[in-house]
Chain A
Amino acid sequence: RKEVEQDPGPFNVPEGATVAFNCTYSNSASQSFFWYRQDCRKEPKLLMSVYSSGNEDGRFTAQLNRASQYISLLIRDSKLSDSATYLCVVNAMNRDDKIIFGKGTRLHILP
Chain B
Amino acid sequence: GAVVSQHPSRVICKSGTSVKIECRSLDFQATTMFWYRQFPKKSLMLMATSNEGSKATYEQGVEKDKFLINHASLTLSTLTVTSAHPEDSSFYICSVAYNEQFFGPGTRLTVL
Q: Which residues of the other chain, A, contact B106 by a CB distance below 8 angstroms?
A: 98-99
Min CB distance, A93 to chain B, in Å?
A: 9
Q: Which residues of the other chain, A, contact B28 by a CB distance below 8 angstroms?
A: none
A36 within 8 A of B: yes
Q: Which residues of the other chain, B, contact A44 by a CB distance below 8 angstroms?
A: 44, 95, 101
B103 within 8 A of A: yes
Provide the main secondary structure of the chain B interface.
Answer: strand
Whether B100 and A46, one on each chain, are in contact in the complex, defined by CB atoms closer than 8 angstroms, is no
A67 within 8 A of B: no
The CA of A91 and the CA of B44, in the complex, are separated in Å by: 10
Min CB distance, B58 to chain A, in Å?
A: 13
The CA of A36 and the CA of B100, in the complex, are separated in Å by: 12
Band of interface residues on A: 20 to 34
The 8 Å CB contact of B44, one of A31, A97, A99, A104, is A99
B61 within 8 A of A: no
Q: Which residues of the other chain, B, contact A89 by a CB distance below 8 angstroms?
A: 43-44
Closest B residue to A42 using CB positions: B97
The 8 Å CB contact of A43, one of B38, B42, B46, B108, is B46
Given known A-B contacts A43-B34, A43-B95, A97-B91, A85 and B41 have beta carbons under 8 A apart: no
Q: Enumerate B56-95 residues with CB–CB distance to A below 8 Å.
A: 91, 93, 95
Give 26 CB contacts A-B under 8 Å: A32-B43, A34-B44, A36-B44, A40-B99, A41-B97, A41-B98, A42-B97, A43-B49, A43-B95, A43-B97, A44-B95, A46-B44, A49-B43, A87-B101, A89-B44, A91-B41, A97-B40, A97-B91, A98-B106, A99-B38, A99-B44, A99-B91, A99-B106, A101-B101, A103-B100, A104-B100
Residue ranges of B at the interface with A (Cβ–Cβ < 8 Å): 10, 32, 34, 38, 40-44, 46, 49, 91, 93, 95, 97-101, 103, 106, 108
